[in-house]
Amino acid sequence: MTDATPRVFQTSGKVWLKDFEFGLTGLTVRKTGARVPYSPSVLKQVSAWFAYFFAAQRIEALTPNFTISFTPERARPWYLIWAVSRAAGAKYTKDASAADVVMHFEDATYSPNDAPARIKSGAHLVNFRCNDVSKTNVSRASAVAFGRTLAVDPRTHVGPAVEKSEINAAHDGRIVQCPTQAIPGRVYQRVIDNRMAAHPDLVEDLRTCTVGGKAVCVFIKRRQVTKRFLNTNTEVLLRQPEEVFSPAELEQISAFTREIGLDWGGVDVLRDKADGALTIVDANKTDMGPPIGLNLPDKVVATRMLAKAFRAFVRGENA
């Protein structure tokens, strides 16, 4: 495996050049136009990601192998499914009609893409029913699964509310006082008090990775309450789903994935400090990860857990 690592990195080189524009003081994501400066914190995160990237290459793949194709975009190395599918024994092919698994992959909030017209007999289709991960649709599916309304009307709601972008992964939430006029392109939700009882200055997000509608692992992400809407974590821990959720709660999470059509992806689960009830506030079908703040050995453990679950799912072994 060590001999293959340089070749893997070389074959990924064109991807880096295609997706990013590297400048003197920062890089630009070509697709979105977002600019990332070369700050010490960013460089530290990049270094941590590369450590995981090379560690993931050394994970022994499960056998026998199968082929996987992504459409309309190929999964890049910084997406979790890239490492997980490799560890599961998948070999990438451009030809969707010859693949054993065809995965809908587009890093976009709305992605109404149909499955390819020609697919291999018996091929497994993944995430083609998940074409809307907007905050509005997440709120709707969360209400169905948990029986608790998340969305609020800012014009009639009285008290604090979370205002955030409709677009996925914006990390631009803020708390506003209602009633107030709605801003186009923004959504409004209940404020869920997910502060830790023992450390009220910290909030706790339960990032739950799911495969085939089942929770596989949980990344407990803790951060300062003043940074609750940012992706800057103070601590990240890996846990088994059964350590975090009750059987009834695990079924609610599965119900959410069925409602939104999520075969593979991550959901952000919050537990309300007041009554312990769960709510899902975000869903991502193109997960990046594992979280940068998680230690490297646990990143590898999580990748193996997800690889085993993904392989079982596409082989129809966990139905």
Q: Would 116 be classed as within a structural domain?
A: no
Task: Report, as an integer, the average pLDDT of 120-140.
Answer: 95
Could you identify the residue written with the tokens 């409709």?
166
Predicted confidence at residue 318, as pLDDT, reads: 65
Q: Which residues contact 186 (CB under 8 A, 6 or more apart)?
A: 163, 164, 165, 166
Q: Would 17 be classed as within a structural domain?
A: no
Q: Would 6 be classed as within a structural domain?
A: no
Q: Which residues contact 24 (CB under 8 A, 6 or more apart)?
A: none
The domain of 258 spans 135-284
Residue 45's pLDDT band (cuts 50, 70, 90)? confident
pLDDT at residue 7 tops 50: no
Chain centroid to CA 153: how far? 27
pLDDT at residue 36 tops 80: no
Q: Would 171 be classed as within a structural domain?
A: yes
Sheet of 186-189, strand order:
174-178, 159-165, 186-189
pLDDT at residue 2 tops 90: no
d(CA 146, CA 275): 13
Q: Would 34 be classed as within a structural domain?
A: no
Poorest-pLDDT segment among 26-40, 59-73, 266-280: 26-40
Residue 4's pLDDT band (cuts 50, 70, 90)? very low
d(CA 68, CA 92): 5
153, exposed or middle or buried, with CB in 10 Å at 0-12, 13-18, 19+? exposed
pLDDT at residue 43 tops 50: yes
Predicted confidence at residue 5, as pLDDT, reads: 37
Task: Report, as an integer, the average pLDDT of 27-37.
Answer: 68
Task: Specify whether the backbone of 122 is left (phi greater than 0), alpha (psi in -120 to 50) or beta.
Answer: left
C-beta separation of 189 from 161 below 8 A: yes
What is the number of structural domains in the chain?
1
Q: Would 215 be classed as within a structural domain?
A: yes
Residue 21's pLDDT band (cuts 50, 70, 90)? confident
Predicted confidence at residue 17, as pLDDT, reads: 64
CA–CA distances in Å: residue 287 to residues 78, 79, 257: 9, 6, 14
d(CA 161, CA 165): 13
Could you identify the residue written with the tokens 């609020």?
152
pLDDT at residue 9 tops 50: no
User: Among candidates 118, 111, 289, which has minimal Cα distance to 207?
Assistant: 289
Query: Both tokens of residue 266?
Result: 């991550």
pLDDT at residue 118 tops 50: yes
Task: Report, as an integer, the average pLDDT of 217-243.
Answer: 94
Q: Got the DSSP string for 276-304? A: --EEEEEEESS-B-S-TTS-HHHHHHHHH
pLDDT at residue 104 tops 50: yes
Q: Would 50 be classed as within a structural domain?
A: no
Q: Which residues contact 301 (CB under 8 A, 6 or more apart)?
A: 238
Residue 70's pLDDT band (cuts 50, 70, 90)? very high
d(CA 255, CA 147): 11
Q: Which residues contact 147 (CB under 8 A, 6 or more apart)?
A: none
Task: Report, as an integer, the average pLDDT of 200-213.
Answer: 96
pLDDT at residue 18 tops 90: no
At residue 224, the 3 state secondary structure works out as strand
Task: Report, as an integer, the average pLDDT of 172-196.
Answer: 94
pLDDT at residue 14 tops 70: no
Instruction: Count the alpha carbons within 13 Å of 69 in the hemisphere toward its beta carbon.
Output: 19
CATH number at residue 152: 3.30.470.20
Predicted confidence at residue 8, as pLDDT, reads: 41
Query: Both tokens of residue 95?
Result: 């030809």
pLDDT at residue 162 tops 90: yes
Predicted confidence at residue 25, as pLDDT, reads: 80
pLDDT at residue 138 tops 50: yes
Q: Would 227 be classed as within a structural domain?
A: yes
